[in-house]
Amino acid sequence: MFTNYIEVREWLESYIPQVWTKKELGLERIKYLLLLLGNPQNSFKSIHIAGTSGKGSTAFYLARLLASSQFKVQSSKSKKSVNRQQTTDNLKIGLHISPHLVDIRERMQIFKSGKWRVESGKSDEKLMTMNRFIRLFNEIKPVVEKIKEEKPKLTPSYFEILVAASFLYFAKEKVDWAVVEVGLGGRLDATNVLSPKLSVITNVGLDHTDILGTKVETIAKEKAGIIKSGVPVVTGCPSASSGSSTLRFPSEFPTNGKALKVIEKVAKEKKAKLIKVNTQLGVRPLKVDAFGVVAKYIDIFRYNVDSFTTSNKLLALAAVRTLGIPLKKNQIIKAFGSTFPGRFEEIQKDVILDGAHNADKVRSLIEFVRNSNPETRNSKQIQKSKIQNPKSIILVITFKKGKDWKKMVDLLIKNLPVSKVIATKFYAVTDMGRYAAVEPKEIADYVSSIKYKVLSIKTFENSHEAVFEALQSTVNREPSTILITGSLYLVGEARTMWKLPEY
């Protein structure tokens, strides 16, 4: 029996696959584990979210909107009665995301509508108690170990156990809705055992190409695998004519609409209503209706939401409205007032944490930094502005192996006033294994070989030492912005220097 968090974590990590390829993907293991747990995923209504970028923050803001709405749909037991709807102060919304930054409990959160401070838009919610966490895994452990002993080929992975744990937790806590982020791809992801009320595909780009494929159409087909028969799907994938990026340099997301065509085809085959959202409303003149009723709330995006996360918030709003759940302006503002940790997060003045881990996320981060001066951040100036922040950038970076990290380095240094690069590594265990970070020396050597106009390059094996070096560099010198990015795992390690979970 587990008695503490460390014991649970070490046990879970023993189930990380030694090898990880597309062959390791599949639903047979997770289905068997959930069967033995009583199929908890069938006990709650769910929304399933896939995409190359923004799926985590879209899930986060969607869960916040649902909790803020205080609106519940109840089905009458009488066959002659129609569904009736009512408001409630006790709505419970489950949120499953991955990976976690610091604490495994981040992957399975529950937001309660009655726990909100309306005036601040912040939630009083904390992670589940440690006792509850330990009880949950004491229930799961014998089931997993029985599978390992009796049917070793069906032994679940680290990620699959955590997905099952989330579903079991949500079922036991009787959540009204669960918002579930896909881990990788969609079709063969462990979360794709759900029978959701709504599917969301944020976008499609080139990431995880070693597993999902090297063509946009192939990746789109994997992500479209979450579309279910007759279940509506919301997408922010651009069409050939709509353009694909709010940024002033080309996006990784294709502009020819290939991904959207695949999604449209699958939706048609599944007879699933497809809602296409123009996610660029945040920076274009706000006259276009994203779909149907969204235009009613456009002023909220103009005055209360920064343009750099508008696309994810717009998708979240579109999802809630597709479900037919009414929202008031103050409820939307309240939900969108929360910050998704590790994404465009200013952890202290002039220190920004952002887990950008592919080229398009880096592009969004660059645009955020370029327009960090509040006086320049409006829809007209974003299109035209040069670098508005006159401060130099101290870059603390590392990357996960297998990523196109050289392209990310190029983008950051060519488009920001970087004066110093501090290359480091993370030691956090990923869903796919240990020691997954690119070596600091390899990053430094690349920066040096390109002969960028960077004043200095340093390497540190420890991410905390790297951050301390960056902070020390700003003492008694010209003020600089410290940008910690390249991997969510790096951001998670760095964030502990400011914030730790309550155990």
Cα torsion 463, 469, 474, 478: sign:
negative
% of the chain residues with pLDDT over 90: 50
Give the pair of three-digit tokens for residue 389: 């922040």
Task: Give the pLDDT of residue 211.
Answer: 67
* pLDDT tier at 443, thresholds 50, 70, 90: very high
Contact 133, 105 (CB under 8 A): yes
Domain 43-116+175-336 has CATH 3.40.1190.10: yes
Residue 70 has pLDDT above 50, yes or no: yes
Task: Give the pLDDT of residue 257.
Answer: 81
Of 311, 411, 416, which is closest to residue 369 (Cα–Cα)? Answer: 416
% of the chain residues with pLDDT over 70: 76
Of 425, 446, 445, 444, which is closest to residue 434 (Cα–Cα)? Answer: 425
Task: Give the pLDDT of residue 77.
Answer: 46
**Taking CA 379 as the corner, what is the angle to CA 122 and CA 374, rounded to the nearest 5 degrees?**
55
**Taking CA 54 as the corner, what is the angle to CA 51 and CA 57, rounded to the nearest 5 degrees?**
125
Contact 148, 155 (CB under 8 A): yes
Q: Where are the alpha helices (DSSP H) in 3-154?
A: 5-13, 28-36, 55-69, 130-150
**Taking CA 402 as the corner, what is the angle to CA 22 and CA 240, rounded to the nearest 5 degrees?**
80
Residue 167 has pLDDT above 60, yes or no: yes
Residue 32's alpha-carbon distances to 36, 153, 200, 452, 488, in angstroms, are 6, 11, 26, 53, 31
Q: What are phi and psi of 107, to 5 degrees?
A: -75, -20
Give the pair of three-digit tokens for residue 413: 């240094």
Asked which of 131-145, 284-298, 356-370, 445-459 is least confident by mean pLDDT, the reply is: 284-298
Residue 320 has pLDDT above 70, yes or no: yes
* pLDDT tier at 245, thresholds 50, 70, 90: very low
Contact 63, 111 (CB under 8 A): yes
Of 360, 345, 358, 354, which is closest to residue 396 (Cα–Cα)? Answer: 354
- The letter for the amino acid at 260 is L
Is 32 or 281 the better-scoring residue by pLDDT? Answer: 32
Of 189, 144, 191, which is closest to residue 167 (Cα–Cα)? Answer: 191
Mean pLDDT of 112-132: 64
Task: Give the pLDDT of residue 172.
Answer: 97
Of 336, 337, 354, which is closest to residue 495 (Cα–Cα)? Answer: 354
Spatial separation of the C-alpha atoms in residues 363 and 365, rounded to whole Å: 5
Mean pLDDT of 44-52: 94
Is 360 or 60 the better-scoring residue by pLDDT? Answer: 60
**What does the mean pLDDT of the chain come to?**
81
Task: Give the pLDDT of residue 376.
Answer: 37
* pLDDT tier at 379, thresholds 50, 70, 90: very low
- 3-state SS, residue 472: helix
* pLDDT tier at 403, thresholds 50, 70, 90: confident
- The letter for the amino acid at 468 is F
Mean pLDDT of 117-132: 63
* Sequence ranges of the chain with CATH classification 3.40.1190.10: 43-116+175-336
Rounded to two decimals, the pTM is: 0.85
Mean pLDDT of 463-480: 87
Residue 298 backbone zone (phi > 0: left; psi -120 to 50: alpha; other: beta):
alpha
Spatial separation of the C-alpha atoms in residues 308 and 152, rounded to whole Å: 46
* pLDDT tier at 206, thresholds 50, 70, 90: low
Mean pLDDT of 25-33: 93
Mean pLDDT of 221-237: 92
Task: Give the pLDDT of residue 473.
Answer: 87
Is 93 or 371 the better-scoring residue by pLDDT? Answer: 93
- 3-state SS, residue 109: strand
Residue 50 has pLDDT above 90, yes or no: yes
Residue 301 has pLDDT above 70, yes or no: no
Contact 439, 425 (CB under 8 A): yes
* pLDDT tier at 431, thresholds 50, 70, 90: confident
Give the pair of three-digit tokens for residue 305: 């939401």
- 3-state SS, residue 198: strand
Contact 327, 321 (CB under 8 A): yes
Spatial separation of the C-alpha atoms in residues 164 and 183, rounded to whole Å: 13
* pLDDT tier at 467, thresholds 50, 70, 90: very high
| Helices vs strands, H then E, count in the chain | 17, 17
- Tell which CATH classification among 3.40.1360.10, 3.30.300.30, 3.90.190.20, 3.90.1300.10 matches the domain 345-495: 3.90.190.20
Contact 446, 407 (CB under 8 A): no
* Sequence ranges of the chain with CATH classification 3.90.190.20: 345-495
DSSP letter (8 states) at residue 115? G
Contact 480, 392 (CB under 8 A): yes
Q: What are phi and psi of 252, to 5 degrees?
A: -70, -30
CB neighbours of residue 71 within 10 Å: 20
Mean pLDDT of 287-297: 39
Residue 395 has pLDDT above 70, yes or no: yes
Residue 381 has pLDDT above 50, yes or no: no
Mean pLDDT of 179-186: 92
Mean pLDDT of 341-354: 90
Task: Give the pLDDT of residue 83.
Answer: 43
Give the chain's length: 503
Residue 287 has pLDDT above 60, yes or no: no
Give the pair of three-digit tokens for residue 379: 């829809």
* pLDDT tier at 258, thresholds 50, 70, 90: confident
Mean pLDDT of 9-32: 85
Asked which of 19-23, 167-171, 240-244 is least confident by mean pLDDT, the reply is: 240-244
Task: Give the pLDDT of residue 378.
Answer: 40
Task: Give the pLDDT of residue 489.
Answer: 94
Residue 117 has pLDDT above 70, yes or no: no
Of 415, 414, 419, 436, which is closest to residue 488 (Cα–Cα)? Answer: 436
* pLDDT tier at 250, thresholds 50, 70, 90: very low
Spatial separation of the C-alpha atoms in residues 2 and 16, rounded to whole Å: 19
